[in-house]
Structure 1
Amino acid sequence: MVVSDVEGSAPVIGERLSLDLMNTSYSTRGKPAEGLGSPEQATSWVQRIAGRLADAGATSASEARFGEAGLDDLLALRTAMRSLADAVVSGGTPGAHDVERINRAAALTPRWSSMAWNGDARPAMTKQSAGAPADQVLSTLAGDAVDLFTGADAARLRMCERPGCDLFFLKDHPRREWCTPACGARVRAARSYQKRVQRARSASAIGASQPSPTTPERRRR
């Protein structure tokens, strides 16, 4: 996980843009935490992933600045994404209003692909969009969510199995159960501790069930 220079900012696992937005709602030490608690935090979070956003089409992401209204839009989009992700993971039914909110955000700005072909070099494609920088960000995040929920990655979507962690991730290995290696290490450490405690309790119970040795009575002279 990457820790932001803005206090309270959320972890970034770096798998899909839409997942990173979902994971700005997270837990720390078992308590809910908010990574987008202010316009400043929202702006800082966007700047941390601006390069990836630009590659996905939000070409002006580095210029995006969020006020209170923009923050409300970003949080509403996150709520819709997390609701759909919960439905996918649990096998539930997605809410139509959540689907509609994501679709509306995806349509905020026009997005298209362009080709560059210089000389004998292999042609390259770039994704682009127009509109206000903040709208580009919202549209690109929503578009990535559409790709996630309608594509092959939806079958790999999981929520971290560490108690107290509610981050989403894409299962890329049959044995992966946690969002990050750090969560996996905490789970293994907790399991190891519980095993040590159980062994100690078992040993204590066995010792308590055995009769205490008695001292032989001395012969009278």
Structure 2
Amino acid sequence: MTPTAEPTQAPLLGEPLSVELMNTVWADRGHVHDALSTDGEALAWLRAVGPRLTAIAPDVATWLTTDRPVDLTTTAADLRRLRDALRRLAADATHDPRPAAASALRDRDAARAVLNQAAAAAPPWPALDWSPDGEPESTLHVAHPAGAGITALLATEFIDLLTGEQRSQLRACLAPGCVLYFAKDHNRREWCSPGCGNRARAARHYQRRKSAQA
């Protein structure tokens, strides 16, 4: 059975791909949603970020555009498991205080094991391309079927993020009702999106008025 072709419901904010994966858990009007809960939803998200994936590893393009990619059910489950592991580790890295944002995976050692297993399951590798008229170039390749390779790419990116200079830029969005993460890309950025910034300012204004009236 071919999965639904509906667009993903996950917010796409231009964050690093591993952070975009974490943000497939999102909230709306007080309800937390999972944008990877079915095979079709997982495929919709992968296709939404597909141009960014294929820019890194061109091999994944054919897999993403197939009506029902090989091992899609396994890939969807692996993505959910990796996503929960990333959110657990990100919560520690950002000292995330938000109960609604808590990962389904509560143990940090278990989360670390899931991340490392995903990175090692189908690691991508560089290959040299050198056409007669061009310059030598490195192209990243993944094993077939490409689903496990995509999961490994996302896991590897998060390891680089968490252990590199960007670690201090990873943030939990503390706007009211938000459960998203973001990478702080300029000094004045406090929220994952302008919408969350507006809600946070409105909440602060309300609290100031309430305190003044009291």
| TM norm structure 2 | 0.79
Q: CA deviation at 1:163?
A: 1.5
Q: CA deviation at 1:190?
A: 3.6
Aligned residues of 2:170 and 2:181 also touching (Cα < 8 A):
yes
Q: CA deviation at 1:113?
A: 2.0
Q: Could you say which residue in structure 1 is the equivalent of 2:77?
A: 72
- CA change 1:7–1:48 in 2 (3 A) is closer
Aligned residues of 1:61 and 1:137 also touching (Cα < 8 A):
no
- CA RMSD in angstroms, aligned pairs only: 2.8
SS state at 2:171 partner: strand
Aligned residues of 1:58 and 1:137 also touching (Cα < 8 A):
no
Instruction: Work out the number of aligned pairs and report it.
Output: 196
Measured against aligned partners, the alpha-carbon deviations of 1:68-93 in whole angstroms (never above 9, x if no partner) come to 4332221111111111100101189x
Say whether residues 1:138 and 2:143 are aligned partners.
Answer: no
Q: Could you say which residue in structure 2 is the equivalent of 1:54?
A: 54
| TM norm structure 1 | 0.77
Q: Could you say which residue in structure 1 is the equivalent of 2:204?
A: 191
Ranges in structure 2 where 5+ consecutive residues have no aligned partner: 98-106
Ranges in structure 1 where 5+ consecutive residues have no aligned partner: 203-221
Aligned residues of 2:123 and 2:153 also touching (Cα < 8 A):
no
Residue type of the partner of 1:85? A
Separation of aligned partners in 1, 2:194 and 2:131 = 42
1:73-88 equivalence runs, <5 A: 73-88=78-93
Runs of 4+ displaced beyond 6 Å: none
Q: CA deviation at 1:140?
A: 1.1
- Higher alpha-carbon Rg: 1
Q: CA deviation at 1:120?
A: 7.9
1:3-18 equivalence runs, <5 A: 6=6, 9-18=9-18
